[in-house]
Structure 1
Amino acid sequence: MTEMNEAVNLPDASVKKFLHPLDVAEARGLYLRGWWFARLHSVPVVVAIGAVVWVATSNLFATLAASVGSLAIGWLSSRWLTARAWDYIPRKRQLNGGAGRWKVIAAAIDAAAIVVIAAVVIVSIQSAAPNPGVVAFVTGSGIGVVLVQAQELFTGWKHGAEYFETAKRLILFAAVVVATAAVALVGVGTVWGVWTIGTVAMGAATVIAAQIIFWLASTTLHRGKLA
């Protein structure tokens, strides 16, 4: 991580030893802008964007372009802005964690995205010509998110995650379970059949693959900072 050359007034170490960018006036704006961009590459938001574009256009290319574009712009922008915010704090004083309230707000945004996904799919099912592919793919995506969140919830519980982190994961997990179940139930008798299994699996695999890529990228960047 590049150290900032300009002088920044940090709280005295005897008063507050470890700091988060939200504690530093010069870094706060950068961190929050990075936080908002990070919402663009969260899995629920990416899936919601893809679902809306697919239903609106019935165009697979447009759907992939919207989803991948959101993922790329959000990830690159958030990483750069967040890294610049952390540059204001010497590495030895950087707080591991923090911003708990913002984690819960992020979970609420993700939960809203999940509601959008469910609403789009239900509207599609209720329309004159429901698209089985949309229903199956989004349901599979929901299952993929449930699996990802269940894994993160278990890992957090195993390692004693802080209160805000656990609350965030529970909010998102509950929202995904409810939305996915609602979509699946609405599709009973109108969409489901043996022919949709492959599409459901593709939706789940897409989400899981995206999350694995994100985990690998995050791990690589973290190791790079420690090197």
Structure 2
Amino acid sequence: MELEMNEMNEAVNLPDFSKKKFLHPLDVAEARALYLRGWWFARLNSVPVLVAIGAVVWVATNDLFAALVAPAGSLAIGLLSSRWFIARAWDYIPRKRQLNEGAGRWRVIASVIDAVAILVIAAVVIVSIQTAAPDPGVIAFATGSGIGVALVQATELFAGWKHGAENLETAKRLILLAAVVVATATVGLIGLGTVWGAWTIGTVAMGAVTVVAAQTIFWLASTTLHRGRLA
């Protein structure tokens, strides 16, 4: 391994081990461009961005098939490209010196892009509400789902803060939480307007409970799997 590290240092001129033990591709000139290409492919094919693209295509063309195909094709190409570029970037750094938690500033930028996409989705939903007048029950459930997502994000934010999450990670979560809250509140207020009653509140609650329950099951499954690996 020491020989490999020496060869790697000669090939790409890694920072001195005594000065910086762990490295991220952004710390290595030869790897930086590859990593950022992969990062952009990943960002432009994140779930919020793809949903936003699909929503815009749907409203622009009134064609559900096109709205589904456009993001699906982009997702396939984007994921493969992102994984390839990022993997090649990490190849420049010996495994024992890899810093997987780096690129904090870029993670915040990623959250800003996703937040903008969430707001675009909300805007498209509002346009659809104004033009198509969908069933209030659908809007109520969607609003509740947004509230559920916000509750999950708030829980993760609190848990991260309690366990000493770094400032950039906290900022990332705050940005996404703010976007979800604004989007959900806007859709709920404009979409439902004055159509609030016991049934509306019940449907909103159902949407929230559905998301929270799904996330709770995921958390429990992840915890069980993690404990199983440690056993």
TM range (shorter): 0.7 to 0.9
Distance in 2, matches of 1:75 and 1:109, equals 17
1:18 and 1:95 in contact (8 A); partners too: yes
Aligned to 2:78: 74
* 1:100 corresponds to which of 93, 101, 104: 104
Q: Deviations along 1:105-147, whole A, 9 cap, x unmatched?
A: 11111111122112112222233x3345985786566456435
What is the aligned-residue RMSD (CA, Å)?
3.7
Distance in 1, matches of 2:195 and 2:82, equals 38
Distance in 2, matches of 1:141 and 1:58, equals 24
Aligned to 2:60: 56
Give TM-score scaled by structure 1 length. Answer: 0.73
2:140 and 2:192 in contact (8 A); partners too: no
| CA apart distance, 1:84 | 1.0
The unaligned stretches of length 5 or more in structure 1 are none
1:51 and 1:138 in contact (8 A); partners too: no
Give the AA of the match of 2:16: D
Distance in 2, matches of 1:136 and 1:80, equals 41
Give the AA of the match of 2:160: G
Aligned to 2:125: 121
Q: Greater share of helix residues, 1 or 2?
A: 2
Pair 1:189–1:55, CA change in 2 (3 A): same
Aligned residues, how many? 208
> Equivalent residues in 2 for 1:1-227 (5 A)?
7-127=11-131, 129-132=132-135, 139=143, 142-143=146-147, 145-146=149-150, 149-150=153-154, 152-189=156-193
2:104 and 2:169 in contact (8 A); partners too: yes
The unaligned stretches of length 5 or more in structure 2 are none
Q: Secondary structure at the match of 1:95?
A: coil
Percentage of matched positions with identical amino acids = 75
Higher-Rg structure is 2
Give the AA of the match of 1:99: A
Pair 1:42–1:116, CA change in 2 (3 A): same
Bigger mean CA deviation after superposition, 170-179 or 3-12: 3-12
| CA apart distance, 1:162 | 1.3
Distance in 1, matches of 2:175 and 2:34, equals 26
Pair 1:130–1:70, CA change in 2 (3 A): farther
Distance in 1, matches of 2:86 and 2:143, equals 33
Pair 1:41–1:111, CA change in 2 (3 A): same
Q: Secondary structure at the match of 2:192?
A: coil
Give the AA of the match of 2:78: G
Pair 1:179–1:51, CA change in 2 (3 A): same
